[in-house]
Amino acid sequence: MIPFNNFKLHYQDLKPGLDKALDRARFSTYLNNNGVVALIHYPILIHKQKAFLYQKDEKLAASEIFTSNILSLPIYPELSEKDLQKIVTIINEYEL
């Protein structure tokens, strides 16, 4: 399993193309099943979290689209070349 390292991670906006949609939950499960830890960094939009209840009815379309396509992947300076290549290979083998 390729884990996160001391909270070092990279946010990756996953947009495979204008003609294809990514099922983030399915992709995240696929990555995790193949040994790559993938997390949803903000499962609840910031403006919909408890601290911002006064903004809960705000419509922030760009934020909602962006956060529905984002996953946190284990990408950090200490990641070995071998693990990096494994991540790349697993992602490239995913079928939409």
10-57 pLDDT per residue, tens: 656 565 554 456 788 888 899 999 999 888 877 788 778 888 888 777
Question: Going from the N-terminus, what domains does the chain have, and what CATH number goes with each?
Answer: 10-91 (3.90.1150.10)
3-state secondary structure of 8: strand
3-state secondary structure of 40: coil
Asked whether the whole model's pTM tops 0.85, one would answer no
pLDDT at residue 96 in the model: 77
In the chain, the largest separation of any two C-alpha atoms, in whole Å, equals 47
Does the pLDDT of residue 7 top 80, yes or no?
A: no
Exposed / middle / buried, residue 73 (Cβ in 10 Å: 0-12, 13-18, 19+):
buried
Q: How far apart are CA 36 and CA 34, in angstroms?
A: 6
Q: How far apart are CA 21 and CA 15, in angstroms?
A: 7
pLDDT at residue 18 in the model: 45
